[in-house]
Amino acid sequence: MNASRPVVTVVGIGADGWPGVPERLRRIVVAAEVLLGGERHLALVPPVDAQVRTPWPRPLRAGLPDLLAAHAGRRVVALASGDPLVSGIGTTLVDLLGADAVRVEPAVSSVALAHARLGWATESTVVVSAVARDVRRVLRELAPGRRVVVLSSDASTPADLAALLTMGGWGPSRMTVLGDLGAAEESRLEGEAYDWCDDAPAFSALNVVAVEARAEGVDGFVTWASGLPDEAFENDGPLTKRDLRASALARLAPSPGELLWDVGAGAGSVGIEWMRAHPTCRTIAIEDVPSRAAAVRRNAGRLGVPDLRVVQGRAPGALAGLPTPDAVFLGGGATVPGVLEACLGALRPGGRLVVHGVTVETEALLAERHGALGGELTRHSVETAARLGSFRGFTPARAVTQWAWDKTQKESS
């Protein structure tokens, strides 16, 4: 361990408070020169002479480096709820300092207690954190019969979740709110989402919500497969249509933790489906038109990926300073001076690029780049059946040229 780096011990405390902390961990807390934590946690610990007690800074992540640097070399202990590595401060500290600089002493997590109270096997459920996060993240996880454990931000989360489920067609979903898990005053309230949409009871501030998803009039956008129906996306025209979107995403190949630039996002459909592929996938959507940028945000929230980041601006200028992408989708505007070059240059080694074009000029540009750099050049022509008098006939959509390239490929000779 690097002795010059701050070392923090993180001690988890259950809902039963200080009396429930094992004696070994009590000694660690009492012996700390500096005690960090939320005001509620700090108030649980009996006074200790000469011990410095400091609440978490706001904003938390931005303020942590300076706070820890100010106490470098001292015995620092941080207090957390339950298991600090379950959507807690332990994860943030490890991310900032490295695992070798953080010692975690967990209590039983609220997730484990919820599973125990409900008799739900861990492998049969998914956990979504709404702690300081948008509760709409739950929507990505819903499917009939699916079990979801939601970590609440505060007492308002269950009612907010009930309203969200009801508006999305999940009103019959069974909700169980478990309050103060592990404490003597532990509580349990059960109901269906639409029962609590307008008239919710009072919930504990420390609660976990268990949801058994049941559908009623759901839009049908519950798949994680690429190619949601076009009507899933609010749009005013510019939209990468279903079949082309599925083709583009197959070549963009989203993987956990990766970042996509959706340049000229339009309705944001490609970037949204990229994020739906895995909960750790990230998207930055770049869109110049304010009304479309707003629509991207609405579409992202309604489809369960509200953390999608929208940058309102025009490429290539709007791309400056953005994090390095693992993949880039350019659905239009490839002929704008500097845009394609900026996208190619920004990709990390091994990154993927997909460009769509419908004009002769864009097609010529993509053909030239394919000749110089290689990759895959395809033309997509989709026809759909429609009424033709008393019969049916196929109506063709405008053909789209697609160039897919990855940065591992060598320039062709």
In contact, 172 and 192? CB cutoff 8 Å: yes
In contact, 103 and 60? CB cutoff 8 Å: no
Give which of 173, 183, 171, 175 is closest to 149, Cα–Cα: 175
Q: Which CATH superfamily is domain 8-108 in?
A: Tetrapyrrole methylase, N-terminal domain (3.40.1010.10)
Q: What number is the average pLDDT over the span 239-254?
A: 96
In contact, 192 and 241? CB cutoff 8 Å: no
Whether 2 shows a pLDDT value over 50: the answer reads no
Whether 200 shows a pLDDT value over 90: the answer reads no
CA pair distance 174, 193, nearest whole angstrom: 6
Q: Which CATH superfamily is domain 111-212 in?
A: Tetrapyrrole methylase, C-terminal domain (3.30.950.10)
Tokens matching residue 30: 């009492």
Sorted by where each begins, the domain ranges of the chain are: 8-108, 111-212, 230-406
Q: What is the DSSP string of 340-368?
A: HHHHHHHSPTT-EEEEEE-SHHHHHHHHH
Whether 412 shows a pLDDT value over 50: the answer reads no
Each residue's pLDDT tens digit, 68-121: 999 988 999 999 999 999 988 999 999 999 999 999 999 999 999 999 999 999
Whether 1 shows a pLDDT value over 50: the answer reads no
Each residue's pLDDT tens digit, 304-332: 999 999 999 999 999 999 999 999 999 98
The type of residue at 368 is: E
Give which of 91, 220, 221, 207 is closest to 149, Cα–Cα: 207
Give which of 98, 3, 80 is closest to 35, Cα–Cα: 80
- Edge-first strand order for the sheet with 187-192 is 125-129, 147-151, 207-212, 174-179, 187-192
Each residue's pLDDT tens digit, 27-63: 999 999 999 999 999 999 999 999 999 999 999 999 9
User: What fold characterizes domain 230-406?
Assistant: Rossmann fold (3.40.50)
